Structure 1
Amino acid sequence: MNEILQGLLEAGRLIVAFDADLIEISLRSLHVTLTAVLVAATIGIPLGAWLAVKRFRHRRAAIATLNALMGLPPVVVGLIVYLMLSRSGPFGVFGLLFTPTAMIIAQVIILTPLVASIAHQAMREMWAEYHDLLISLNTTRSQRIRALVWDGRRALLTAALAGFGRGIGEVGAIMIVGGNIDHATRVLTTAIALETGKGEFALALALGFVLIGLAIAVNWFIHTLSRTEVSGRW
């Protein structure tokens, strides 16, 4: 209990003092996660909508595989990305290992199946509702997907926020491909792991409280924006 109280006090002190390291680490955490979520949503949302609309032979197997990929072990993803980006790997020439870009790549691989699977669930329900209407209008497949994505944008926002929630708390893959380098690749989760290993539990808790507050603030901000939209259906 004493450690938790010290953590709260330390978190308050760091925030009130506008600690430079805390701000740098927090901004880097947001940059990496938001970029990864944006890329994952750009890939995953159309993929989920396409799976809801398209009928093909191995569709059920594809959906089952997508759902299974939601449980990808982050450390395994980190290891694979590390091997691909290392000097002996096929993409080593780009020098991306131990950079924020490598961290974003790892998070995109982790988050895309999650976003796509949630998007597919939402789009499948909407497709069942709008199937007859869209077919009667003689729309193309791309028009159907765009209509579903637009009308289901709030459900898809939930998919993106789920991806953000998982990404902002990711540590395994980030640690492997980022290296937790001070002023370069250190983010809130890796900083917490570092301070815990050093026995600085109060500071680790302080960073943890900041991480939780950051996640809540982003979710609150996005939901506030979404409620300002005019939507007859919702």
Structure 2
Amino acid sequence: MIIIDYIAEGFKEAIRLLIGFDKEVYGIITLSLFVSTTATVIASLICIPLGIHLGIKNFKGKKAFSRILYTFMSIPSVIVGLIVAILLSRRGPFGEFDLLYTPKAMVIAQVLLVTPLVLGLTYSISKNRGKEIEKIGITLGASKRDIIILTMKELKVDLIVNIVTAFSRAISEVGAVMIVGGNIKNRTRVITTTISMMNSMGDYPMAIALGIVLLIISFVINSLIYSYSGED
């Protein structure tokens, strides 16, 4: 009963933090959404046109490229974080920009994390369905650029699902942002890193509050995926 009461008190305090618009809690939520949204948008702007182009284009070594790309889709976030940290460290090639332990470094890490995912999903869809769209475009006298735009329009629903999936991975990952961000209070703390830290400290109310927010975000993301995929 003591454990149940302790958990219940944690939930009560968590609700109080959320309803009371606790500044620290909502600062963490805002930064999390900013970092993950920015990273997803940047990766999508680059990878969707590129993925469509590579998917419908025949080139030497396409099978090998596919295998490598699909492997990178599941790359561990800690490896991405380590690579970015080395590149941005003082002795690294980009150390002069002093980006390590800043939100910018976190965005960079998440861009690299979700780029293979967006590229791979887009590449797979366009490889399977893009050829037919390309044939229609060629028949209508479309240029290569017009074909990519036409393919994006025809595969709009699938691409939106891919983007939402990438955002879901970005908002829920902890390894990369912990390494490059450092989890600094009022500067680089996001939902996942704060939950991890609060759990280790035994400070459950804030961890539960942020956990509730993460669950809400996950519910919204899954609802969008189901609605756009046309499932009941």
The alignment's TM-score, normalised by the length of structure 1, stands at: 0.89
1:58 aligns with 2:61: yes
Q: How does 1:91-106 map to 2 (within 5 A)?
A: 91-106=94-109
Tell me the secondary structure at the aligned position of residue 69 of structure 2. Answer: helix
1:69 aligns with 2:69: no
Per the TM alignment, residue 131 of structure 1 is displaced from its structure 2 partner at its CA by: 3.7
2:13 aligned residue (10, 13, 18): 10
Per the TM alignment, residue 183 of structure 1 is displaced from its structure 2 partner at its CA by: 0.6
- The CA RMSD measured in Å over matched residues stands at 2.1
Per the TM alignment, residue 62 of structure 1 is displaced from its structure 2 partner at its CA by: 1.4
Per the TM alignment, residue 221 of structure 1 is displaced from its structure 2 partner at its CA by: 7.1
Contact 2:106-2:180 within 8 A present in 1 as well: yes
2:193 aligned residue (169, 187, 190): 190
* Worse-superposed segment, 114-123 or 17-26: 114-123
> CA–CA distance in 2 between the matches of 1:33 and 1:130?
32
- After TM superposition, what 4+ stretches of structure 1 lie above 6 angstroms from structure 2? 221-224
1:82 aligns with 2:85: yes
> CA–CA distance in 1 between the matches of 2:192 and 2:17?
16
Q: How does 1:135-146 map to 2 (within 5 A)?
A: 135-146=138-149
Q: Residues 68-113 of structure 1: CA distance to partner in whole angstroms, max 9, x if unpaired?
A: 1011111111111001001100000000000000000000001011
2:37 aligned residue (22, 34, 38): 34
Long gaps (5+) in structure 2:
none
Count of equivalent residues? 226
Per the TM alignment, residue 176 of structure 1 is displaced from its structure 2 partner at its CA by: 0.4
Q: What code does the residue aligned with 2:15 have? A: G
Tell me the secondary structure at the aligned position of residue 32 of structure 1. Answer: helix
Q: What code does the residue aligned with 2:185 have? A: D
Aligned counterpart, 1:231: none
Contact 2:44-2:118 within 8 A present in 1 as well: yes
Q: How does 1:61-210 map to 2 (within 5 A)?
A: 61-210=64-213
Contact 1:99-1:184 within 8 A present in 2 as well: yes
Q: What code does the residue aligned with 2:40 have? A: V
> CA–CA distance in 2 between the matches of 1:14 and 1:218?
23
Change (3 A) 1:158 1:222: closer
Tell me the secondary structure at the aligned position of residue 63 of structure 1. Answer: helix
Per the TM alignment, residue 220 of structure 1 is displaced from its structure 2 partner at its CA by: 5.0
Q: What code does the residue aligned with 2:57 have? A: K
Per the TM alignment, residue 222 of structure 1 is displaced from its structure 2 partner at its CA by: 8.8
